[in-house]
Structure 1
Amino acid sequence: MSSWHEFIFMGKHGVYVWSSYLMSLIVLVGLFVGFRMMLKSLKKQVLAEVAAPDAQKQKARKLKVSQAD
């Protein structure tokens, strides 16, 4: 590579290459944030279940997974 300019533009293919990298990064960050939010929601549900008095506890209840809108 003789210059940064050639590296960035990659012989007229730079726009495609860098936009592909950007979209991949956006998808990965979105997945990371979504799973973190889901994990926090499940932790709240588990802590609420543990803190509930014995009379209010249900025997076998599935946890609800809330999805962000």
Structure 2
Amino acid sequence: EIQLVINTPRGRSSEFDDSYIRKAAIRHRVPYITTTAAALAAARGIAARREARAGVRSLQSYHAGLGEG
């Protein structure tokens, strides 16, 4: 069972594939990520959730802590 699609299209040659993959993900209601930054953030979030270290924080609180290392 597919639970997440990560596709980082590059250039015009991948436009057809990108469109097909995106439409299939939407049709099957599967989250779809198109940038490496978003894929990395998702992977970190999934890891945090699996390790039970993911808590609930406001967006402002999260961004305030980004500069702390």
TM-score (norm 1): 0.28
Hey, which of these two has a bigger chunk of helix by percent?
Answer: 1
In our comparison, the structure showing a higher alpha carbon Rg is: 1
Hey, which of these two has a bigger chunk of strand by percent?
Answer: 2
